[in-house]
């Protein structure tokens, strides 16, 4: 026969277990809430970095409210799917905004800003997935199926803006001076395209200008190509060395290759390579990238 004391101890044991389970449930709920909050913040940063306003994104979901959909639907099980969906819609908004900013009367001093923005959008598209299912996806929009068209539109806009100005608008001296001062990826791409216009033109007057300074133009063009290669690798290294890339597929191998490529440039003894390496490595930009990648391996 069970005594009153044993019964009391049994009841107390059950109460302790119930309290423990409730505490664990509360902790799990708290962790889940924190994780969902982090992902929401990431989406806000992704949107603002591309210059997309909250109303631009919401306009795609009218008459529904995408924030309400997110609040009602977001769980740990569909977290990645919904984040990927919104990233794609944000990139679509950014592409449309950029296309509206490019016109036939774009001023030369506006081109560089527009190219920087388009290259930023191109990079953002690279951070989205091309496979987004509409199954059990409350944030899916039919426009997402046209993502490849939007990606191509960004490429076309970049190519359009990189078309060099005619020589009667910008002299070769000005083109070469601008090329020597080029630093960003878009500036270097624009400078190379401008020099290639002189190098490949079939216009007799332009060909004559080029032939008079052929070696100087060709040497500068080759230097810019190497400088562009290093700059692209540095920007790639800066991107993939960020903490929020730790969970990406093949990130270890990508970081390893990025480090090897930068070290090859740093160790090169070629006078030509040393010249542009010193330019890109101002403030130890390359060295800092190599060290940061090393810590991630």
Which domain-ending residue is among 161, 181, 209?
A: 161
Name the nearest CA neighbour of 151 among 114, 110, 99, 111: 99
Parent domain of 273: 167-297
Considering the domain architecture, whether residues 218 and 120 belong to the same structural domain is answered as no
Considering the domain architecture, whether residues 36 and 118 belong to the same structural domain is answered as yes
Is the pLDDT assigned to residue 76 strictly greater than 70? yes
Which domain-ending residue is among 145, 161, 177?
A: 161
How far apart CA 82 and CA 80 sit, in angstroms, is: 6
How far apart CA 270 and CA 274 sit, in angstroms, is: 6
**For the chain, what's the residue count?**
297
pLDDT of residue 127: 87
Q: Verify cis geometry, omega within 30 degrees of 0, for the bond prior to 63.
A: yes
Task: Assign 26 a pLDDT band (cuts: 50, 70, 90).
Answer: very low
288 exposure class (CB count in 10 Å sphere: 0-12, 13-18, 19+): middle
Task: Assign 75 a pLDDT band (cuts: 50, 70, 90).
Answer: confident
Considering the domain architecture, whether residues 257 and 123 belong to the same structural domain is answered as no
142, 98 contact by CB (below 8 A): no
Q: What is the mean pLDDT of the chain?
A: 82
Considering the domain architecture, whether residues 175 and 295 belong to the same structural domain is answered as yes
Task: Assign 72 a pLDDT band (cuts: 50, 70, 90).
Answer: confident
Residue 62 Cα distances to 97, 139, 142, 146, 150, angstroms:
18, 12, 13, 19, 21
Considering the domain architecture, whether residues 116 and 194 belong to the same structural domain is answered as no
What average pLDDT does range 185-210 have in this prediction?
87
DSSP secondary structure letter of residue 284: G
pLDDT of residue 22: 56
How far apart CA 259 and CA 297 sit, in angstroms, is: 10
Both tokens assigned to 289: 């990238």
How far apart CA 50 and CA 122 sit, in angstroms, is: 10
Both tokens assigned to 32: 């889940």
Is the pLDDT assigned to residue 7 strictly greater than 70? no
Considering the domain architecture, whether residues 30 and 68 belong to the same structural domain is answered as yes
Considering the domain architecture, whether residues 209 and 274 belong to the same structural domain is answered as yes
Considering the domain architecture, whether residues 204 and 289 belong to the same structural domain is answered as yes
Considering the domain architecture, whether residues 213 and 287 belong to the same structural domain is answered as yes
Range scoring the smallest mean pLDDT among 10-14, 185-189, 234-238: 10-14
Considering the domain architecture, whether residues 171 and 294 belong to the same structural domain is answered as yes
Q: How many structural domains is the chain composed of?
A: 2
Considering the domain architecture, whether residues 141 and 247 belong to the same structural domain is answered as no
Which domain-ending residue is among 161, 193, 210?
A: 161
Phi and psi at residue 184, to the nearest 5°: -75, 170
pLDDT digits (tens, 9 = 90+) for 244-258: 878 787 888 888 888
Considering the domain architecture, whether residues 229 and 269 belong to the same structural domain is answered as yes
pLDDT of residue 163: 72
pLDDT digits (tens, 9 = 90+) for 160-189: 888 765 544 458 888 889 888 988 888 899
């Amino acid at each position: 026969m069970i005594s009153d004391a044993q019964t009391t101890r049994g009841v107390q044991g059950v109460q302790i277990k119930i309290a423990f389970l409730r505490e664990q449930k509360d902790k799990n709920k708290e962790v889940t809430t924190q994780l969902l909050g982090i992902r929401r913040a990431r989406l806000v940063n992704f949107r603002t970095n591309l210059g997309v306003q909250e109303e631009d994104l919401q306009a795609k979901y009218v008459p529904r409210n995408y924030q309400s959909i997110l609040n009602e639907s977001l769980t740990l099980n569909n977290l990645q799917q919904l984040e990927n969906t919104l990233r794609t819609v944000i990139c679509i908004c950014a592409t449309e905004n950029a296309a509206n900013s490019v016109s036939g009367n774009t001023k030369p001093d506006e081109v560089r800003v527009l190219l920087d923005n388009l290259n930023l959008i191109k990079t953002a598209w690279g951070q989205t997935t091309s496979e987004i299912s509409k199954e059990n996806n409350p944030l899916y929009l039919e426009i997402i199926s046209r993502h490849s068209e939007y990606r191509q539109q960004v490429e076309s806009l970049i190519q359009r803006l990189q078309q060099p100005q005619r020589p009667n608008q910008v002299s070769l001296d000005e083109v070469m001076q601008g090329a020597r001062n080029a630093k960003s990826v878009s500036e270097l791409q624009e400078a190379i395209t401008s020099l290639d216009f002189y190098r490949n033109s079939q216009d007799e007057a332009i060909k004559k200008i080029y032939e008079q300074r052929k070696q100087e133009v060709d040497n500068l063009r080759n230097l810019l190509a190497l400088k562009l290669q290093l700059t692209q690798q540095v920007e790639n290294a800066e991107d993939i060395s960020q903490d929020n890339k730790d969970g990406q597929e093949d990130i270890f191998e990508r970081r390893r290759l990025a480090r090897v490529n930068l070290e090859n440039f740093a160790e090169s003894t070629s006078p030509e390579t040393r010249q542009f390496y010193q330019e890109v490595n101002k403030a130890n930009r390359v060295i800092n990238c190599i060290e940061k990648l090393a810590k991630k391996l």
